[in-house]
Amino acid sequence: MKILFIGDIVAKPGRAAIKEVLPKLREKEKIDLVIANIENLSHGKGATIDKVDEIRDAGVDIFTSGNHIWFKSEFTETLDSDPTVIRPANYPADNPGFGFTFVDVAKKKVMIINLLGRQWIDQPVDEPYRAIDVILLDQVDKEKPDIIVVDFHAEATSEKNALAWFLDGRVTAVIGTHTHIPTCDQWILPKGTAFVSDIGMTGALHSVLGVKPDIIIRKQKDTEPVKFEWVETGPKVFRSVLLEIDTKNKAKDIRRLDFNLE
Ligand SMILES: [Fe+2]
Ligand SMILES: [Fe+2]
C-alpha cells in the first residue's frame, strides 16, 4: 500500500503544481491514496469547494487542514458535509467540521486524523496529546482501522517530534505540516511509526510562505502595516512524502518526493 502526503498547497501556483505533477506521479508510483493539506488552497488563506474539486480531479482523495481553514466562512458547509475534508480534531467539538475520517482503499480501512499544535499557534484548541488519546480510545476498537495517518499541523519541530514518540507503535504515520518549510528528518521510529517534521509547501518557489518576499520583509523590518500579496507566477515546488506500508500494516518506508517546476 502506498500513500502520498502532499504539504500545504498554496494558492494558484500550488494548484498548478498539483495538476502538473500528481496525475503522472500517481500512475508511475502506483499510489493507492493521496492526502493533501489544503488550509492555503484558495488565494493563500482557507479553501473553497471549487478549488477542492479542482485538485480532487487531479488525484487528491483526502483533504486535511489547519489554523487557516476558517478564512472562507462559506467553507464551513463543506467541512460539515464532505467526509473527505477534515479540520484539526482538537478544535472545540461544537465548531464546524470533523477531525478525522475513514476511507476504504486496496482492501484496507485507513483512518486520517488532523491535529493542531499549541506552541506558537494562537488558536482555541485542546492539548493534542489527550485529544488524540481520546480519539484512539473511542475509535480504534469500534472502527478497527488497519492504517492510521496523523496530520500534525504545528509550528515547533520539537512538538511534532514529541507527538510522534508519544504515538510510536499506535499509529502508522505522523506527518507534520504548517511551516511551509520541508525538513529532511523522515524516518521510522523504533515501534514502527513513520515520521517527518514537515513536508513543506506546494506552491511558489520565489516566495516566503507563498507571499511576495518584499512584503514579508517590510512586515518584519518596518512598523507600517502591509497587505499580503500572493505570488501567482514563476517557478513552483511540489513537496510530498511517500509512505509504503507492508501487508501487516506497518510503515516500511517514508521518503521525500519533491519536484521543482518552471
Ligand atoms: Fe499552511
Ligand atoms: Fe497553518
Query: Can you give the pLDDT at residue 224?
Result: 86
> What ligand is nearest to the CA atom of residue 66?
2
Average predicted confidence (pLDDT) for the chain: 97
Measured in Å, residue 40 CA sits from the centre of ligand 1 at: 5
Query: Can you give the pLDDT at residue 260?
Result: 98
Angle at 121 between CA 117 and CA 124, to 5 degrees: 80
Query: Which residue stretches of the chain have pLDDT < 50?
Result: none
Measured in Å, residue 151 CA sits from the centre of ligand 1 at: 12
Query: Can you give the pLDDT at residue 65?
Result: 98
Measured in Å, residue 200 CA sits from the centre of ligand 1 at: 9
Looking at the domain covering 2-261, what would its CATH class be?
A: alpha beta
Say what percent of the chain tops pLDDT 90: 99
Please tell me which residue in 43, 68, 153, 180 is annotated as part of the active site. Answer: 68
Of the candidates 162, 157, 96, 86, the one whose C-alpha atom is nearest the C-alpha of residue 128 is 162
Q: Is the pTM of this model over 0.85?
A: yes
> What ligand is nearest to the CA atom of residue 87?
2
142-166 pLDDT per residue, tens: 999 999 999 999 999 999 999 999 9
Q: Is 68 a catalytic residue?
A: yes
CA torsion sign for 30, 136, 41, 62 is: positive
Measured in Å, residue 65 CA sits from the centre of ligand 2 at: 8
Query: Can you give the pLDDT at residue 5?
Result: 99
Residue found under cell 517546476: 261
In whole angstroms, give the CA distance from residue 46 to residue 71: 5
137 backbone dihedrals φ, ψ, rounded to 5°:
-60, -40
CA torsion sign for 60, 65, 71, 76 is: positive
Query: Can you give the pLDDT at residue 178?
Result: 98
Measured in Å, residue 191 CA sits from the centre of ligand 1 at: 29
Domains in the chain: boundaries: 2-261
Query: Can you give the pLDDT at residue 223?
Result: 87
168-219 pLDDT per residue, tens: 999 999 999 999 999 999 999 999 999 999 999 999 999 999 999 999 999 9
In whole angstroms, give the CA distance from residue 7 to residue 35: 9
> What ligand is nearest to the CA atom of residue 45?
1
